[in-house]
Structure 1
Amino acid sequence: MITTKNLLGLIALLPLMTAQADDGGISFWLPGQFGALAAAPTEPGWSLPLIYYHVSASEGSNTAFARGGRTTLGVDAKADLLFASPTYTFAEPLFGAQAAVSVVAAVGRSETSVDATLTGPRGRTFSGGTDDSLKGASDVYLLGTLKWNYGVHNFMAYSMGNLPVGAYDPDRLVNIGLGHASMDAGGGYTYFDKTNEFSAVAGITHNWENPDTHYKNGLDAHLDWSASHFINSQTHLGVVGYFYHQVTGDSGSGATQGDFKSKVSAVGPQAGHFFKVGKDLWYTNLKGYYEFDAKNRAEGWNTWLSLVIPLSG
């Protein structure tokens, strides 16, 4: 039998992290990371969430973007990434909360094409279209959470940072590594009455300057949300969305477009399902986001296919 405890213990393991270079209006925080039952406590012990992430986005040909040591117009980008996030959830409370730590990394392929390059590395000038692609590994991301449960109400505090060790070259159009350090922190809430759930997680990102490009992103604010209904004990359906808004401008000598504040919003469907593998209960989730209201940022769509594997029985 699939119990409420099992539901909470699996779905809430789904949040995973990634980031890309801040140049070009792309943030450290990847909107949509937190989803259904984000703030609900989980089963103690080890687990292994896996996520396949696909994104397709473009930037308008009438806006110049600083990207990889270049100033570009008309960018189309695609990426396919596979994330693994070994997670350990402690059985003993910390400050009255359930504590968990995760180490996240990804491998994948990213490709970008541009309609025109106005300024290249070391001040050279180019024209016409060009493209770039890269296969490699991401930075390593560290996530810590504290979760409190009060009946149908659940609360969470989290923090996340990165070790900038991924595939990165400041002269490339596309990178998988970030190229500098960042730190994100925030909190969330989940309402869950065994049939309906609503979750919202908000946070703020601080970025350190990229030492290669001398580009420093401003403070970024973001909100991920989810609403779903369990149609039976194994399956839930609903909607997801996010809001991202840069609250302070970019800076540094590499910020050739000025403060370049960016924003984007998104909404889309989600579906989740539980199934038995031997004696263990696994969980899979598919969700997609359609983006709109973008400014100084790529706009498109992205899809997340998740699988949560319990490792502690």
Structure 2
Amino acid sequence: MALLAAVSAPGAAQSAEFGASPWLKGYTDVFGGVIPSVPGFYLRTDVYDYSGSADTTILNGRVDLGVDQNFTATVGSLTYVTPWKPLGGTFAVNVTPTVVAMDVDVGLGIPTFTGPLGNTVGGFTVNRGDNNFALGDMVFAPAILGWDEGNWHWNVAMFILAPTGDYSTDQLANTSLNHWAFMPRFAATYFDPQTGWQATGAVLYTWNTENTATNYLTGDIVNVEGTITKNFGPLGVGVASYGMIQVTGDSGAGARLGASSPKSMASAHRHLHHQPRSDEGLTVIVKYYKEFDAKNTFEGETFDAAVSFKF
């Protein structure tokens, strides 16, 4: 068992489209650098509930002010660990479909479009909302390769987000970003079973493709995540942190808040993590995140409960 309290440093942010990153915030957990050495199927299911607000963001080509967003995503992550040992490592593949219940409310919307003379034309809408329950975007990893050396464990992976969710420019509550994203990740874990100390760090780089419905290309994003825990038998306590930094500018006609200037996106969290392990290998994780000092993106709180086991 692990009981984990997490904090991360405050950061500045600029608005990517929808104020969102393709990577679920804080998804890399304790032992994130470990790939199981025993071949077989491993299933993890999360119920990930997020509630937050943003002063300004872009939704479907519209500049919206005073946006509240609440969503619950059911995330099913299926990993197959193969018996193959390329480069001396353990090779695995993964697929992660999602189902999302989304609720969005906007205080003031400013729909804009380019007029015949190249000028920006718009109007105002006040107090509107929308909700949706549908498939979300799917993430799959065609290649995960992990190694172990004593108490050290590390892996590299390529995650790809596919726009399989529900999307329309006529609705606020979309369950898809409506673009592809390519996300290589490196994760490493140090775990000493004698003392019970564990430390995990991960860095993930995201290349986004254009949302062709809005001509919006979100810039590249870096996610950094980490945990430190101390086990007491099956129970452990610790801290974790993450940050998101947008390292290149948004572009395209839909980037109404600035098409070419470099931007950053980050948010900070406190959370609670509870991970019991049974003799059968069942793992249960319960986490609570409290965001603070996020700028130009959503700031709120998350409750995440997950169960994982080997078939």
TM-score bracket for the superposition, by shorter chain length = 0.7 to 0.9
Contact 1:83–1:104 (CA under 8 A) maintained in structure 2: yes
One of 45, 62, 85 as aligned partner of 1:93: 85
1:269 paired with 2:238, answer no
1:29 paired with 2:27, answer no
**1:37-48 → structure 2 map (5 Å cutoff):** 37-42=31-36, 43-48=38-43
**Deviation at residue 121 of structure 1 after TM alignment:** 7.6
Contact 1:73–1:116 (CA under 8 A) maintained in structure 2: yes
Residue 85 of structure 1 aligns to a residue whose secondary structure is strand
- Aligned counterparts of 1:295 and 1:22: Cα–Cα separation in 2: 11
Contact 1:240–1:269 (CA under 8 A) maintained in structure 2: no
User: CA distance change for structure 1 residues 166 and 24 in 2, over 3 Å: closer, same or farther?
Assistant: closer
- Aligned counterparts of 2:48 and 2:112: Cα–Cα separation in 1: 30
In the alignment, which residue of structure 1 is the partner of 2:307? 307
Deviates further, 194-203 or 266-275 = 266-275
**1:1-313 → structure 2 map (5 Å cutoff):** 23-42=17-36, 43-60=38-55, 64-119=56-111, 125-143=123-141, 144-194=143-193, 195-232=196-233, 234-258=234-258, 259=261, 261-276=264-279, 280-311=280-311
Aligned residues: 286
- Aligned counterparts of 1:68 and 1:172: Cα–Cα separation in 2: 8
User: CA distance change for structure 1 residues 283 and 121 in 2, over 3 Å: closer, same or farther?
Assistant: farther
- Aligned counterparts of 1:22 and 1:83: Cα–Cα separation in 2: 23
Contact 1:69–1:172 (CA under 8 A) maintained in structure 2: no
- Aligned counterparts of 1:262 and 1:22: Cα–Cα separation in 2: 8
Residue 147 of structure 1 aligns to a residue whose secondary structure is strand
Residue 294 of structure 1 aligns to a residue whose secondary structure is coil
- TM-score, normalised to structure 1, is 0.86
- Aligned counterparts of 1:72 and 1:230: Cα–Cα separation in 2: 46
Residue 20 of structure 2 aligns to a residue whose secondary structure is coil
* 1:295 alignment partner AA: K
User: CA distance change for structure 1 residues 120 and 130 in 2, over 3 Å: closer, same or farther?
Assistant: farther
- Aligned counterparts of 2:185 and 2:99: Cα–Cα separation in 1: 26
**Deviation at residue 158 of structure 1 after TM alignment:** 1.3
Contact 2:146–2:153 (CA under 8 A) maintained in structure 1: yes
Residue 95 of structure 1 aligns to a residue whose secondary structure is helix
- Aligned counterparts of 1:179 and 1:268: Cα–Cα separation in 2: 30
- Aligned counterparts of 2:189 and 2:246: Cα–Cα separation in 1: 25
- Aligned counterparts of 1:263 and 1:283: Cα–Cα separation in 2: 29
**Deviation at residue 120 of structure 1 after TM alignment:** 5.9
User: Percent of aligned pairs with the same residue?
Assistant: 26
In the alignment, which residue of structure 2 is the partner of 1:14? none
Question: Unaligned regions of 5+ residues in structure 1, if any?
Answer: 8-20
- Aligned counterparts of 1:242 and 1:75: Cα–Cα separation in 2: 24
**Deviation at residue 68 of structure 1 after TM alignment:** 2.0
Contact 1:242–1:267 (CA under 8 A) maintained in structure 2: no
Residue 169 of structure 2 aligns to a residue whose secondary structure is coil
Contact 2:103–2:130 (CA under 8 A) maintained in structure 1: yes
Contact 2:159–2:185 (CA under 8 A) maintained in structure 1: no
Tell me how large the CA RMSD over aligned residues is: 2.0
Contact 1:53–1:80 (CA under 8 A) maintained in structure 2: yes
In the alignment, which residue of structure 1 is the partner of 2:11? none
**CA deviation map 1:179-206 (0-9, x unaligned):** 0111011212111001110101001100
- Aligned counterparts of 2:69 and 2:223: Cα–Cα separation in 1: 22
Residue 63 of structure 2 aligns to a residue whose secondary structure is strand
**CA deviation map 1:79-109 (0-9, x unaligned):** 1111111210012312111111111111120
In the alignment, which residue of structure 2 is the partner of 1:16? none
Contact 2:64–2:110 (CA under 8 A) maintained in structure 1: yes
- Aligned counterparts of 2:227 and 2:265: Cα–Cα separation in 1: 23
Residue 256 of structure 1 aligns to a residue whose secondary structure is coil
**Deviation at residue 22 of structure 1 after TM alignment:** 5.0
* 1:46 alignment partner AA: F
Contact 1:153–1:191 (CA under 8 A) maintained in structure 2: yes
Residue 123 of structure 2 aligns to a residue whose secondary structure is coil
- Aligned counterparts of 1:94 and 1:282: Cα–Cα separation in 2: 29
